[in-house]
Chain A
């Protein structure tokens, strides 16, 4: 019988290997799924794992879609490490897109002229503030009313989506837009500068990579980051040390809200350049998977963000080339997280083969012999 046996201490090697094992298993399941669907598994897997890496243009698209994923996941990593369960990055992302998009729209309609280098920082800042404000509602309700941050942050996603819908259907709708639910295209001065010419990859990707370093330093080299992590790992020890749990809640919520808001601002001023009801394609939820697959570590998150971005592009390619529904991406994402969580068991336990035990029949106790054995 297979038996789980606790390891004396968590295996470091396994915590690196587990995402790779989970990914391998996901690929195997994916290949089987393609066969069941009557598609060539090599072509199918190629759409997900080879095509997105072929050529500069494809690579910039991978980096473009990875940007919001990495940003949201960086913030979420701080939350999850502090044992604060913010699952509403999607809503905070949308709010960032609303505030940043609102500012860009104001610039567009007011006709104030200024250079891109004036507007870009202001627009990104607006996004950060929007995301933080949305996350602050969650922190406030948790802090003052003890309301579950899981449920509140999730409910606010639906509220944020309806807010986006309202804005683009009613007050911000482009009067010249043939009644489509969308805003005007923003003025060129509000667009993000391109990082690679003739691509959609904007400077947001460079900012994101710089933030990865900032988050690494914050989590592993700062006093505040240390306090947060102790609070997450051992709440009792943190209380005894006098680290404030309320402080941890507010810090982590505001940081993750701000990051998600920044991602929303970059999406609005980067590839979209206008607001529509489909500002987000679920980046905030995918970021949760990115966060876990990246081991809640800023550097790991870069790799997992790129990987999950490939999944997103692979889904689109699968749709256009193989006629598979784009929703296949969602299946693979969920599967990856499931398998990862299962494989993570191997960090703390090892699998042992144990012969089925037969309970020995109790024998009468042997008479105690006093003479010494020869």
Chain B
């Protein structure tokens, strides 16, 4: 019983990384921009966050540093893709390769350094409820922030006027342009906000989850987060659900190892990636469903006045 509660708690904590990054990428993609640089932005965010936490000892400074680093990376990508009309796939890949190199290069100074373990914060009154307390109410604040962010993003996208404009830019930039909206600046804003969230996700990973710095600490989370937006058919609530699903798969791997299951750890480590492939295939199987839900101009460049 207690073990299951801990497994649930670990699932939520682990899913939070994917949730933050996935929601950020969702915002990107709703505006019509596909950023394959998620992994690079997360890595740079993770390094910036780790460095800030190491220097200041304050998690919130670390998250702010991660957000700033992610946003700057995203800005470089955004300017190239939105103003210079470079290929979105290639530019995103460049961002991932550059972010990987940069974080490894600067991160040499932090290699092997660790931070003190970040415990969760118990919610008064609820943290002591048997089973539910340890499972749900003793998390790091970021877990609750991710859930709040999901609701906020849902409200923003589907209930606010600015969200409508943002979706319009993603569906038909030509129409938005004709109505007088500044498509390029709106897209840049969305890309940078998405980058900031990826940066926070990275910082959360290196500061709270790990908490240590190793080269390539994200281990493909950025790519799984990219796949998440497709699984979720671009709905915020489903992104969160998917994030917990994959958080659970990741944790299951450690749980099984702890239980002494007779499977080599290397094979268990494949689980998150294999399950991503399987779920991606199952969801994408129905092309009409994907086409209906996908922002219509996702990945397509927009040149005003042509």
Contacts and interface: CB of A to CB of B under 8 A. Distances in A.
Interface stretch (B122-130, B133-141, B157-165, B219-227): B219-227
Nearest to B222: A154
A95 interface: no
Contacts of B273: 155-156, 158-159, 162
A333 B105 CA distance: 12
Interface string B86-102: 11011101110111111
Given A146-B285, A154-B223, A155-B223, A337 B266 contact: no
Contact of A85 (B83, B84, B89, B287): B89
A172 to B, nearest CB: 12
B215 A327 contact: yes
A290 B270 CA distance: 29
A170 B264 contact: yes
Contacts of B274: 155, 159
A147 B284 contact: yes
B148 interface: no
B102 to A, nearest CB: 5
A334 B98 contact: yes
A148 B97 contact: no
B276 interface: yes
Contacts, number: 141
B86 A335 contact: no
Interface in A160-174: 162-163, 165-166, 169-170
Contacts of A150: 36, 89
Contacts of A345: 84-86
Given A169-B266, A328-B105, A289 B89 contact: no
B280 interface: yes
Interface in A132-152: 141, 145-148, 150-152
Contacts of B80: 338, 341-342
A82 interface: no
A154 B280 CA distance: 13
Nearest to B230: A148
A162 B270 contact: yes
B241 interface: no
B98 A338 contact: yes
B98 A335 contact: yes
Interface string A48-75: 0000000000000000000000000000
A292 interface: yes
A331 B280 contact: no
B121 interface: no
Nearest to A167: B266
A342 B98 CA distance: 14
Contact of A341 (B94, B108, B264, B270): B94
Nearest to A327: B104
A344 interface: yes
Bin the interface of chain A by size: 35 or more
Nearest to B103: A327
A175 B107 CA distance: 36
Interface in A240-291: 285, 288-289
B292 interface: no
B192 to A, nearest CB: 17
A334 B100 contact: yes
Among B104, B105, B223, residue most surrounded by chain A Cβ atoms (within 10 Å): B105
B267 interface: yes
Contacts of B227: 148, 151, 155
Contact of A163 (B36, B105, B270): B270
Contact of B277 (A155, A169, A349): A155
B280 A162 contact: no
Interface string B24-43: 00000000000010001000
Interface of A: 4, 6, 85, 87, 141, 145-148, 150-152, 154-156, 158-159, 162-163, 165-166, 169-170, 285, 288-289, 292, 325, 327-335, 337-338, 341-342, 344-345, 348-349
28 contacts: A141-B277, A147-B284, A148-B280, A151-B230, A152-B277, A152-B281, A154-B223, A155-B220, A155-B223, A155-B227, A158-B270, A162-B267, A163-B266, A170-B264, A288-B97, A289-B94, A325-B105, A327-B215, A329-B101, A330-B105, A331-B98, A333-B101, A334-B98, A334-B101, A337-B97, A338-B98, A342-B80, A342-B86
